[in-house]
């Protein structure tokens, strides 16, 4: 499997996702970051942040601890499950235990409120230097299939694959974790916010549609393998030729038990 590096040019504008329910602070930081060449994207609720991350992986996430719905620690844990994007946590609480917990959950830095915006810029620049080359990729290639996470597009053998938002979401979930077996409950949990059909086989139906669109024979899969009694697994092999790809014709399907 080949990952394409993000922001290949050193002069590319870096995107900073700012999750804080203080709208005034969000605007202030966005305006201030622009002076240093950063594109700030303020969001005010955890659900907004998750929707943004599904569309585009930013270069840095600024994450407040006190949030509506779920706290910053839970958000940090959730983001870190799927993304390697650097996270800087903000808090009005200065307890050492909070700082330690944030770092243990995968945050890259921790800044107590109130803070000077210039210090935040310095922290952002620092985590970007430390994380250079380890940030989540924009694209993934395997066996002739290319996924563009920013554009949310899929191409197979150089041809566009027409996927619904839900189909892309599930395919991206698998592709980011090759070799990991995922059952229906895990897929439903990791795609919260998507509108699933209210019956048990909705995951199986979606997998069947993906296989048809990818020309993936379930008897000899190149992408999605059924693990009987357990769920499904994305097959990833770095040694496979990127030019290889299945045809676009539909194939039969075998459901997970």
Q: Which tokens go with 129?
A: 């230097």
pLDDT in tens, 73-87: 999 988 988 788 899
27 and 120 share a domain? Answer: yes
Residue bearing the bigger pLDDT, 225 or 176? 225
Both 56 and 87 in a single domain? Answer: yes
pLDDT tens digits, one per residue of 128-182? 887 654 445 678 888 789 998 877 899 998 899 999 888 888 998 888 888 888 8
Instruction: Label residue 254 by pLDDT band (50, 70, 90).
Output: very low
The pTM of the whole model exceeds 0.95: no
Spatial CA neighbour of 57 closest among 154, 208, 214, 176: 176
pLDDT at 189 over 80: no
Instruction: Please tell me the predicted confidence (pLDDT) of residue 95.
Output: 64
Residue 118 sits in a domain whose CATH number is 3.40.50.2300
Predicted pLDDT at 129: 81
Domains in the chain: how many in total? Answer: 2
Whole-number Å distance between alpha carbons of 151 and 172: 12
Is residue 253 one of the residues assigned to a domain?
Answer: no
């Amino acid at each position: 499997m080949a990952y394409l590096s993000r922001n290949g040019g050193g002069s590319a504008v870096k995107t900073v996702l700012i999750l804080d329910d203080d709208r005034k602070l969000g605007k202030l930081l966005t305006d201030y970051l622009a002076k240093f060449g950063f594109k700030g994207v303020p969001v005010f609720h955890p659900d907004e942040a998750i929707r943004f991350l599904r569309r585009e992986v930013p270069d840095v996430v600024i994450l407040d601890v006190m949030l509506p719905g779920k706290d910053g620690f839970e958000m940090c844990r959730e983001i870190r499950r799927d993304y390697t994007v650097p996270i800087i946590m903000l808090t009005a609480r200065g307890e050492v235990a909070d700082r330690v917990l944030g770092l243990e959950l995968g945050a890259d830095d921790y800044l107590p409120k109130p803070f000077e915006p210039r210090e935040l810029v310095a922290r952002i620049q620092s985590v970007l230097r430390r994380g250079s080359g380890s940030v989540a990729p924009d694209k993934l290639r395997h066996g002739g299939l290319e996924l563009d996470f920013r554009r949310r597009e899929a191409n197979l053998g150089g041809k566009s694959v027409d996927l619904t938002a839900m189909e892309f979401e599930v395919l991206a979930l698998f592709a980011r974790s090759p070799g990991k077996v995922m059952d229906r409950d895990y897929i439903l949990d990791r795609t919260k916010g998507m509108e699933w059909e209210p019956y048990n086989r909705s995951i199986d139906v979606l997998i069947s549609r993906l296989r048809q669109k990818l020309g993936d024979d379930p008897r000899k899969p190149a992408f999605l393998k059924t693990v009987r009694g357990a769920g499904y697994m994305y097959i990833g092999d770095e040694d496979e030729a990127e030019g290889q790809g299945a045809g676009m014709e539909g194939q039969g399907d075998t459901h997970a038990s």
